[in-house]
A and B are shown apart, each in its own frame.
Chain A
Amino acid sequence: MSFREKSAWITFVLLLAFGIYFGEVAAHMLDPTRPHTNYLQLFVLLVVAIVVLEIITHAVIAFRSPHEAQTPIDERERLIELRSTRPAFFVLLVGAFLSVGTIHMGASTWLLAHCVLLAIWLAELTRYGSQLYHYRRGA
Chain B
Amino acid sequence: MAPEVSASPISNQIRRLRFEHQEMTQQALAERIGVTRQTVNAIELGKYSPSLEVAFRIAAVFAQPLEAVFQYRETLSPRRRG
Contact = CB atoms under 8 A, between A and B. Distances in A.
A81 interface: no
Interface residues of B, number: 13
B34 interface: yes
The B contact surface, by secondary structure, is loop
A74 B48 contact: no
Contacts of A75: 35, 39, 50-51, 54
A139 B47 contact: yes
A77 B36 contact: yes
A74 B42 contact: no
Interface in A67-91: 68, 71-72, 74-77
A34 interface: no
Interface string B39-81: 1001001011011001000000000000000000000000000
Contacts of B54: 75
Interface string A1-23: 11111000000000000000000
Given A75-B54, A76-B42, A138 B47 contact: yes
B25 interface: no
A138 B45 contact: yes
Interface of A: 1-5, 68, 71-72, 74-77, 135, 137-139
